Structures are given as C-alpha cells and as structure tokens.
Structure 1
Amino acid sequence: MTTEQRPTASIWDRERLWVTAGAVALIFLAAIEALAVTTVMPIVSEALDGRDLYAVAFAGTLATSVIGMVAAGAWSDARGPRGALYAAVSLFIAGLLLSGFAVTMDQFLIGRLVQGLGAGGQTVALYVVVARLYPPQLHGRVFAAFAAAWVVPSMIGPFLAGAVAEYLDWRWAFLGVAVLTGVAFVIVVARLRGVDLGRGEPQNRRALVIRLVLAVVVAVFAVLIGFTAEMTVRLAWPVAIGSVIVIGVALLPLVPRRTLRAGRGLPSVVLMRGIAAGAFFAAEAYVPYLLMERFDFTATWAGIALMLAAFAWAGASQLQGAFGERLGNTRITVISLSLLLVALVLVLAAAQWGVSPVFVVVGWGFAGGGMGLLYPRLTVLTLAYSDEGNQGFNSSALSISDAAGSAVAIALAGLLVATLGGEAASFGVVFAFCLGLVLLASVPGLRLGHAAESSEG
C-alpha cells in the first residue's frame, strides 16, 4: 500500500482503541482521586483524629511519587514498560484500598504513601508505553487526550467527593476509585497482551540504587519544606533554603546533564517543566482561598475559577496537538508564558487592590490556556529527544521535575503566607513570587531546541 493509499493513523483506530481508552481512563481516575481528596481530607482528619497530620497526607503522596517515577523509569528502560505499568497500577489500587479501609490516621497515611508510589510510577510507565506503541506523529494527540482527561475531574471531582462523603461515607471516595481503576487496568492488560513493547537494555545496578536513594532524599526534604510553615520564622527560612539546596543536588543524577544550567535541548525541556509547574500550581492553590477570603465567595463558587482554567487547559491542549508543529517551540513558549503572565498580573491586582473578582476568574482561565499549550508540548519534546535506551529515564526526569518543582514552590508559597501572618493581603506576595517564576521559565523556554518531532500532516 502506498503512502497515499494508507489510511490516516489515529489514536482511536481499531489497533489502538482499547489501549487509548484504558490509558485515558487511568489518567482520569488518578485525576479524580488527586482532586477529590482536597474536599474529603477535612472529614477524614476529623474522623480519624488526625488534624495534626493533615498536611502530610498531601505532601507524603507527592513525595513518594518521585520514588515511583524513578523506579518505573529504570524498570522501563531495563525490561520494557509492561511490568512497570502493572506494578504501579497495582500499588495505586492497593493504596486506595488501604486508605479507604483505614481506622487510624497512621493507616490512612500509609495508604497515601503507597498511592504516591503507584501514581508516580503509572505516569512514567504510560509515557513509555505511548513512546513504544504509538508512532511519533500521534504523540501530541495522545498527550492532548491525557490532558483532557483532567477536565471532568477538575469540574466534578471535589463536588462528587463531597457528595459521596456527605450522603454515603468518605471511604467510598477512595474505594470507588479503586474499583473503577481495577476495571480500566483489566482493559489495558487485555489489550497489551502479546504486544511487543520492547525488552529494554541491561542497566547498571549500582547506578539504579543511587538514583533510588536520591529520589528518597528528594522526597524527604520536599516534605520537610512543607513542615517549615509550622516553625518559627528564624528557623523556617534557613531550613527551607537548605532543603532546596539539598533537593537541587540530589536531582542532578535524576535529570539530564546540564538541566539546572538550562542546557540547550532536553535539559531545558525538563527544567522548564519544573519551573512552570511550580508557578502554576503554587498560584492555583491560593486562587480559591483568595476568592473566599477577599471576595466572600463560597467554596463552590470559588471553584469556578479552577473549572474555567480546566476548560482552557483542555482546549489549548487540543490546539497544541493539532497545530503544535506549525507553531514551533519558540512561539509556543512565548504564547504560553505570556498567558501565564497576564493571568498572574490580573490575579495579583485583585489580591493587592481588591478589584473585581472577575479579574481572578477570567485571569485564571488564561493561566489554564497557557499550561494547556505548554505541558503536552514539553512531553512530546521529551520523547522526541529520546530513544529506546533512555525513554524511561527521560520520562521519569520530566515527571520528577514536575513533582519536585510543584512541591518546592507550593511549600515556599505557604511559608511566605505563614511569615506574613496568613492574611488575605499576603496572597499578593505569593502571586508576585509565581510571576517571578514564570519570568525565570523563559530562560529554559527559549532554549528548547528543535528535536526531530514528526509532523502530523
């Protein structure tokens, strides 16, 4: 069959339909759990008498996800992504069950830690499955579908979890997701059976052990930064700054060489992901809080800002999947960072001078659009710069940068608010901090290079 006669490949064609559906379902359910837990956690901490451990339930999951990312990346490079994916999803389900059946806060936290291992490993393993199973011209569309899988959870996740906790029991917010994840997992396993995903290459065991130890170091110190908000200011900032330095040193072997120096190409791709993620998610954590504290919004109405951002994120992701090659890396960088800057300026104005809350709601929609353009593009570039021998390492590096950047930025933002007394007026400092991060992201953003991405024509 000639090129002209060959039908156009699609992520939804018969050959890939069920793998795509199952993978998107796994991303969707992970998003539901990640977003829903925000609503359920106050109820859980009260029911299990664990108010003092409330923050650890969030920080611990993010921290252990870094370990899962490193392990899954190494496993995928050494033996292919199949086993890594199966182990990661199994851990995610096990963690949900442990949390759902917990009778003490300690048991619940163990479940959350196991969930983090599974969630981090699952993301990396799915990236490698995409790299091995889908042709390069479909990568942008697959990751656009993954990004879109966060839209519905962004809209209904917190509301649905609250309704489940109120009318059934908070445990079903975890147990229900575990059951549905099991169904999606069965679909993926059935369709991947017999599919050649590559066997990988022999790996240096000593190097792997070192990487895992460093991932643990990153996780521990990321959690430590979160605890600094409870320390005295005199102690908190030295501990936080010291922890950031330790994390930076520990990250060096876990990311491509020259990443922290914004080396051209893949290093800048990975670095930009971490900085952009930190700027967006640290600011987003305070957008609903700002609306409630400064403008007397209810929690439901404050969530509208996040919902509009989710719509914008999904729409921009689809545009990137369709036109990303035509726009090119430099234009996508300029457009996405400009949208983030506009968003943060509008939200900062609302925080500092109390102008209309419309500035916050509409502004955060711009932020979602900027991230929707940027996120899938950086993932496509990572795969374009990779080959079968390092797809797992590079995919895990991207996710590690994402998680570590978000954890550090959110923790530092929380410390800024705590230092200034936690007043609504102090939110402006957080948004100014995030605006500075966006400007910093332009340094690696203009050094992304031009990998051999295939055109989607």
Structure 2
Amino acid sequence: MNALPTLSPQARQLATTGLIVGVFLAALEASVVATAMPSVIRDLGGETLYALPFAVYLLTSTVSSPLWGRASDVVGRRRLYLAAVLIFLIGSALCGQSHSMGLLIAARVVQGIGAGGLLPLTLTMVGELYSLQERSRVQSLISGVWGVSGLVGPLLGGWLTETLSWRWTFYASLPFGVAALLLALRFLPETGQPRPARIDWAGAALFTLGSGLVVWGLEQRQWLLVGLGAVTLVGAILLERRHPDPLLPMRALRERLPRVAFAGNLLGGAAYFGVIAYLPLYAQGVTGGGATAGGAILTPMLVGWTLTAIVTSRLVKTVPLARIAQVGFAVLVVMFGALTFAVHAPLWVTSALGFAVGTGMGFSMLSLLLAAQETSSREELGAVTSGVLFARQMGGALGTALMALLIGSAAIQSGGFELAEGLRRAYLMALGLVIVALALSLRLRVTRPAQAPAPASND
C-alpha cells in the first residue's frame, strides 16, 4: 500500500467524522422509511406500489455500489465521496417534496444511487487514511454507527411521522448531510491515485435494468416484464463472465463456499428485508398501533442482529464458521415458522420472535461472509466481499417485491384479518427461503476454527 496521507491528528479525526456521518445517513435512511410508509400510502395513495420505494432504493444502492468503487480508482476517492453525499441529499429533498408515489419512487432512485457510494468509499478511504493496526478500531466504530442508526431509525421515523409528517423522515437527513459535506470539503484529502481501469458499465446497466423489470413486473403482476427481466439478468451474468474486471467475483463463484455464501445471503436477505418492509404495516393495520409502534416493532430484530454479530466475532476463535452459519439458519427456520402462527398475536409476541429472527441473521450472514473471505485470495477479496453484500441487498429488493405480490394490494389497503392472512403467506415464503439456505449450509464441511471452511467437494 502507498504511504499514508500526511494529516494532523485533529484533521484526520475530523475527516473521519465526516465519513462516519455519511455512513450514518445511508444506514438511517435504509430503516427510517419503513415506519413512514403506511402514512405515505394514506397521503399519496398507490397501494399497489407499496414495496417499490424500498425495492428501488435497495436496487440502485446495490448495483451502483461496485461502480462507485471502480470509478474511484479512475477519478479519485474524495471527489466521488462528495458527489455521493450531494446526490443523496438531492434525493432526500426530492423525497420530502414528492406529491405522488411516482415522484417518490423516482426520488428514491436518486437517493439510492448516492447511498451506493457512501459505505464502499468510506471503507476504502479509511483503509488509506489509517495503518493496519488502527484500521480495525475505526472500522468497528463504523459498524457500531451502522448498528445504532439501524436501531434509532425505526423509532425516529415513527416519532417524526406522528409529531410532524412523514416528509420529515427524509428532511431529517439534510443537516447531517450538509455537515458531512463541509467536513469532507475542509479536512478530507484525496487518498486515491487515479489510474486507467475498465468499468463494466454494460454489466451494471443490464443488472439494473433486469432487476428493475423483475421487481416492477412482480409489483404489477406483469409476467412478461418478469420474463424480460430474468432474460436480461442472464445476459448480464454472461457478460460478466467475459469481462476482465467484472462487478461480481465470477472466478470465485466457481467454488462451492463462495457460492453458498452468495446464495445464503441472497435467500436470507430476501426473507429478512422483505419481512422488515411489512412489519410496520402489521403493527398499524392489524394490531391498530400508531407509527411509533410500527417503528418499535423493528427494533428487536435490529438489536438481535447487532448483538449476535458482536457475539459471532468472538465465537469465530473457537467455533467453526460453517457451524455458526448452520445454527443461524436453523434459528431462522424455527422463527419464521413460528411467525406464520403469530399473524394475529399481540405486538410483544411478534417483537420477541423478531428478536430471534435478528439473532439468526447475525449468526448466518456474518459467518458466511467471513468464511468466503477466508477462502479467497487477496486479489479476489474485495470482489468476493462486495459480491456477498450485493447478493444480500439484491435479495432484499426481490424479496420485498415478492412479498407484496403474496400479500396483495387489497389486503394492504383494507388491513385487519385480510392483511394478517397476507402476511402469513409472506412468512411462509420467507420460511421456504431459509429452509433452502439451511440445506445449502449443511453441505459445507465443518473444519477447525484455525482453518477456512473448505468446500465439501470440488464440483
């Protein structure tokens, strides 16, 4: 690695603060909107489009993320970080000003594009601002900020919606974004060394188009669009296999362990993020709670994931990663099964089950990511890491759209018993997804913690 940029300790601390505020923005917006959506639907209408504000944000942030990283190699990190924050703020302001669901969805696309650059560019610049010994401490702080914002977001979204308006769930991010911009402009150095690189624009465009067609087709029950989207995604994968710098780690995916990590995150992300999108609707439409209750019901899931991820980071010293993943998916199978019987239960029952779902995600997602990293070469490490995260977010976007199809727009609008039964169908889908993920994880060979979990065969 090149020499570290020369900064005074105070300047480096302030630059890092600006980066962390940017991460806080992306993490907060990913969770704060869920509690506001029932109020958005009442205000703007568009029950049939309920899932799209979630799905397009996940899609655009997911697909744009590797592009931001690759582009920073070409034009430099600092200027792209500033651009990402600015795009995110423009999207947030447009969301707050939206007067139709169509405008809100378009604004969420803009917001998602900006969010896609915040985390990867932050982690890259931290790696260039700090030595190896200091880096783990800063990155653990970033992880803590992500966890805290995930916990605060649903409650903040509910409070803002009830006391002011759902529009303030978007406006609230503006002062933080301005602070991040000012700190970055004043203290953040240009850490990258621009160099020629081939950016796979065609692959990114095909992934975006294909995923968008699938999600939109599922939302509108237009099966021709779903088919066209699937064909486009196949074309994107074929193109990726031939590109010298693909967005996804195509070479690594020939091995079983990275494939299982990719598939497990895709399936787990679809189940988890799909459920998160509709739990606030359950709190308000089935149990009769307000927006604050809709936010509070998400908190146990996020607490469970955050706490268990911390526990997992300690368990890896003594417990095989494959075993941790298997336990996590087993917990998810039991808990999603229990949720199918709890669609008419009080809020505290669903909250308790949600906490257990979060623990299952904390065990399974982190352990699969670490296992894939352990078996990857240094040259493939970045691609494998971003590929696993890409799969999780893409699964979330597709899972949200599929659950909207299963619940039905009529149930979302009417609430009550019909909504509860629609949620039961969504939980059954989530149960099926995590059963498949558990079956895949059981094919991994359990090895000693000092070793990387090797594939069970060389197929």
Class of the TM-score when normalised by the shorter of the 2 chains: 0.7 to 0.9
Q: Which amino acid aligns with 1:330?
A: A
- Paired residues of 1:143 and 1:379 also in contact (CA < 8 A): no
313 and 22 in structure 1: CA distance in 2 versus 1, 3 angstrom threshold: farther
After TM superposition, list the pairs within 5 Å mapping 1:10-159 onto structure 2: 17-18=13-14, 21-41=17-37, 43=39, 55-78=51-74, 81-102=77-98, 107-133=103-129, 145-159=141-155
Q: CA RMSD in A?
A: 4.1
After TM superposition, list the pairs within 5 Å mapping 1:168-247 onto structure 2: 168=164, 170-188=166-184, 190-193=186-189, 196=191, 198-199=192-193, 202-205=196-199, 208-228=200-220, 231=221, 236=223, 240=226, 243-244=229-230, 246-247=232-233
What's the secondary structure of 1:398's corresponding residue?
helix
348 and 241 in structure 1: CA distance in 2 versus 1, 3 angstrom threshold: farther
Q: Which amino acid aligns with 1:204?
A: R
After TM superposition, list the pairs within 5 Å mapping 1:324-335 onto structure 2: 324-335=316-327
Which of 290, 297, 301 aligns to 1:309? It is 301
Q: Are positions 1:280 and 2:272 aligned together?
A: yes
The Cα offsets for residues 27-78 of structure 1, whole Å up to 9 and x where unpaired, read as 2222322322234445556666777765443333233223422321321454
Unpaired segments of 5 or more residues in structure 1? 1-12
TM-score by length of 2: 0.76
Partner Cα separation in structure 2 for residue 189 and residue 330 of structure 1? 44
Deviation, structure 1 residue 122: 1.9
Q: Are positions 1:406 and 2:399 aligned together?
A: no
Equivalenced residue count is 430
What's the secondary structure of 1:410's corresponding residue?
helix
133 and 190 in structure 1: CA distance in 2 versus 1, 3 angstrom threshold: same
Q: Are positions 1:257 and 2:250 aligned together?
A: yes
Deviation, structure 1 residue 440: 1.9
Partner Cα separation in structure 1 for residue 446 and residue 234 of structure 2? 24
Partner Cα separation in structure 2 for residue 272 and residue 310 of structure 1? 19
Q: Which amino acid aligns with 2:329?
A: L
- Paired residues of 1:77 and 1:391 also in contact (CA < 8 A): no
- Paired residues of 1:128 and 1:391 also in contact (CA < 8 A): no
Partner Cα separation in structure 1 for residue 17 and residue 445 of structure 2? 31
> Identity over aligned residues, as a percent?
26
The Cα offsets for residues 327-373 of structure 1, whole Å up to 9 and x where unpaired, read as 3421321232122223212212323xx56765422221111122223
- Paired residues of 1:148 and 1:317 also in contact (CA < 8 A): no
**Alignment partner, residue 331 of structure 2:** 339
Larger displacement relative to structure 2 (362-371 or 269-278): 269-278
Deviation, structure 1 residue 393: 4.1
**Alignment partner, residue 4 of structure 1:** none
**Alignment partner, residue 271 of structure 1:** 263
What's the secondary structure of 1:113's corresponding residue?
helix
Partner Cα separation in structure 2 for residue 419 and residue 98 of structure 1? 25
Q: Which amino acid aligns with 2:389?
A: S
Partner Cα separation in structure 2 for residue 347 and residue 65 of structure 1? 29
Which of 301, 311, 316 aligns to 1:319? It is 311
- Paired residues of 1:144 and 1:314 also in contact (CA < 8 A): no
Which of 156, 159, 163 aligns to 1:160? It is 156
Unpaired segments of 5 or more residues in structure 2? 1-8, 241-246, 413-417, 453-459
**Alignment partner, residue 244 of structure 2:** none
Larger displacement relative to structure 2 (240-249 or 23-32): 240-249
Partner Cα separation in structure 2 for residue 448 and residue 408 of structure 1? 30
Larger displacement relative to structure 2 (120-129 or 432-441): 120-129
- Paired residues of 2:274 and 2:403 also in contact (CA < 8 A): yes
**Alignment partner, residue 433 of structure 1:** 429
What's the secondary structure of 2:408's corresponding residue?
helix
Partner Cα separation in structure 1 for residue 79 and residue 120 of structure 2? 12
Q: Which amino acid aligns with 1:403?
A: Q
Q: Which amino acid aligns with 1:309?
A: M
260 and 250 in structure 1: CA distance in 2 versus 1, 3 angstrom threshold: farther
Larger displacement relative to structure 2 (385-394 or 112-121): 385-394
**Alignment partner, residue 366 of structure 1:** 356
